[in-house]
Amino acid sequence: MSEYKITIGIECHVQLNTKTKLFSAVDNDAVDKEPNSCVSPIDYALPGMLPVLNKAAVEKAVKAGLAMNCKINLVSRFDRKHYYYPDLPKGYQISQMYQPIIGAGEIHLPDGSTVKIEHAHMEEDAGKLTHYGTYSLVDLNRAGTPLIEIVSMPDIHSAAQARLYCEELHRLMLYADVTNGDLYQGNMRFDVNISISDTDKLGTRAEIKNLNSFRSVERAVEYEYSRQKALLEKGEKVKQETRGWNDATGKTTSQRSKEEAQDYRYMPEPDVPPIALEQSYVDKIAANMPMMPDEFRSKFGVLNLDASEQEAILNYPVLAQRLSEVCDKDIKLAPRVAHWFSSILLAEENIDKNFALATAPELVELSEMVEKKELSSTAGKEVFLELYDKKNTSKTPHTLAKEMNLLQENDEGALEAIIDEVLTAPECAKAAEDVRNGEMKAIGFLVGQVMKKSKGKANPATVNELIKKKLS
């Protein structure tokens, strides 16, 4: 049995989160909207309509390119890609076939590997077709949504690495704030090209289209590997074809072969002048790029976080950003804040990645309260869960802790009153007597009684000291 090397290249469509569409001035956010309610005469492809390029989409594309360490092409052009389908109103998609805006680059994966980017280009999304037995309905809300298609080099060599690549790409796009990144809504979709070979020559590839989760990317690669391996071992050939993924069966199925592939009859788009960027424009965007996951990784290195905990936090730019700010204020406090963050990631399935997170000063204050033993660590986490989402509260950590009755009482006067009460209580007489006689293990019972009476707010160490002093 031969060992087969797997070679994978991935094309990823990213929907840009601009306010309006790529070539028309209507709402680009179709989530929860009535079908065909975000459609302009341009998207509808009425006669005589002309596309007008959305400058904000160009800016987002440049950001995306910079996030992937790519060369930005100062001159790029649009082309028409022709095919007939009811979700494509013009009968062509405006794309960039010959001169894309984003040139070569590379991204670094958390496992230390690097995947080169061949190029990335801008294009418009198609609408959506829903089939109902004998008829189909067209929804053009998504038609004209700006996309960038990111084309990797065939640098990926395992299912796990394919998944890592997609996850890191997702993070980069989120950090650069070019997409909402909601995979369920189709904000990022992956086409995976897979071939296997036991020689130095690449094998024939199959393309698995339209994968919309990291897990399906990984599973599809695993399935394809075994499918292609089985074919080769039987002495058969792998066909160059497009295949679809069925998440339920965990299998890929043939959609169309190379011979049936469409001729897109690409043509330069005469209605949209070339995009000509000034280097200074690109430099300005570069200077204002937010920190990228890799930079956060090296910054968080000293915190010695568990790798999975760190990556989970990095999935949410807002969490990474806040943790970084806490590091800047007091690096000692940061690990605790990191643990709190991962606790919310564990507690909630889907957190809104744009939620209003508590500020760094608030998190530092809360963390310091625990350090100073004004709060137990359990109580600290409880307060954090109330505090972190600013939608729920505008109160300070201290106010919250007080209202939640979790502040530890270190005030000796108040504590002494409670202790005196406990020591004179009949049910405690025996234990007090034992401590007086030097049997120190009885002190635990007394401390427990004080804690109970103080409703947990007393600091147990302080109570211990005070009891010892009183009974000596």
Partner 1 sequence: MKIADKNTKAVDLVREALEKAKKYEEYHCFISMNESHALERAREIDEKIANGEKVGRLAGVPYALKDNYLSREGVTTAAARMLDNFPSPITATAVAKLEAEGAIMIGRTNLDAYAHGSSTENSYFGPTLNSHDTSRVAGGSSGGSAVAVALGIVPFALGSDTGGSIRQPASYNGVIGIKPTYGTVSRYGVVAMASSTDVMGCFANTIEDADLVMRIMAGKDPKDSTTLDDFWTRDLEDAKPKKKKIGIVKDFLGNGVDEEVKKTFLDYAKQAEKAGFEVEEIEMPIAKYGLAIYYIIQPAEVASNLSRYDGIRYGHRAAEITDLDSIYNKTRDEGFMPENKRRIMIGNFVLSSGFFDAYYLKAQKARTLLIKAYDEAFEKYDALLCAVAPAPAFKLGEKVNDPLQMYMEDVMSVPPSMAGLPAIAVPAGSSKSGLPIGVQLVGPRKSDQVLLNIAKSIEESK
Q: Applying CB under 8 A, which residues contact partner 1?
A: 41, 44-53, 80, 82, 84, 86, 89-92, 138, 263-268, 270-273
Q: How many residues does the chain have?
A: 472
* CB of residue 59 to partner 1, shortest distance in Å: 17
Distance CA 281, CA 55 (A): 12
Distance CA 400, CA 88 (A): 54
Q: Which is nearer to partner 1, 41 or 444 (CB)?
A: 41
Distance CA 157, CA 5 (A): 7
Q: Which is nearer to partner 1, 273 or 361 (CB)?
A: 273
The strand pair at 5-15 and 188-197 is best described as antiparallel
* CB of residue 86 to partner 1, shortest distance in Å: 5
Q: Which is nearer to partner 1, 267 or 302 (CB)?
A: 267
Residue 225 amino acid letter: Y
Q: Which is nearer to partner 1, 49 or 56 (CB)?
A: 49
* CB of residue 146 to partner 1, shortest distance in Å: 16
- Give residue for tokens 């024939």: 204
Q: Which is nearer to partner 1, 77 or 163 (CB)?
A: 77
* CB of residue 45 to partner 1, shortest distance in Å: 4
Q: What are phi and psi of 9, to 5 degrees?
A: -125, 145
Q: Which is nearer to partner 1, 70 or 140 (CB)?
A: 140
- Give residue for tokens 């230390």: 112
* CB of residue 267 to partner 1, shortest distance in Å: 5
**Best CA proximity match to 128, nearest among 17, 43, 20:** 43
Half-sphere exposure of 2 (CA within 13 A, CB side): 15
Query: What is the dihedral sign for C-alpha 85, 88, 89, 92?
Result: negative
* CB of residue 268 to partner 1, shortest distance in Å: 8
**Long-range CB contacts (within 8 A, 24+) of 79-83:** 79/266, 79/267, 79/268, 79/269, 80/266, 80/267, 80/268, 80/269, 81/123, 81/264, 81/266, 82/264, 82/265, 82/266, 82/267, 83/262, 83/264
Helix (H, G, I), strand (E, B) or coil at 373: coil
The answer to whether the beta carbons of residues 161 and 113 sit under 8 Å apart is: yes
Q: Which is nearer to partner 1, 126 or 238 (CB)?
A: 126
Q: Which is nearer to partner 1, 90 or 171 (CB)?
A: 90
- Give residue for tokens 């910079």: 66
* CB of residue 104 to partner 1, shortest distance in Å: 24
Helix (H, G, I), strand (E, B) or coil at 189: strand
Q: What is the dihedral of CA 130, 88, 53, 272, to 10 degrees?
A: 180
Distance CA 146, CA 126 (A): 10
Alpha helices in 80-234 (DSSP H): 159-175, 214-233
Q: Which is nearer to partner 1, 142 or 322 (CB)?
A: 142
Specify the DSSP element, H or E, that contains 257.
Answer: strand 251-257
Distance CA 431, CA 412 (A): 22
* CB of residue 47 to partner 1, shortest distance in Å: 4
Residue 130 amino acid letter: T
* CB of residue 22 to partner 1, shortest distance in Å: 13
* CB of residue 93 to partner 1, shortest distance in Å: 11
Q: Which is nearer to partner 1, 45 or 104 (CB)?
A: 45
Alpha helices in 125-184 (DSSP H): 159-175
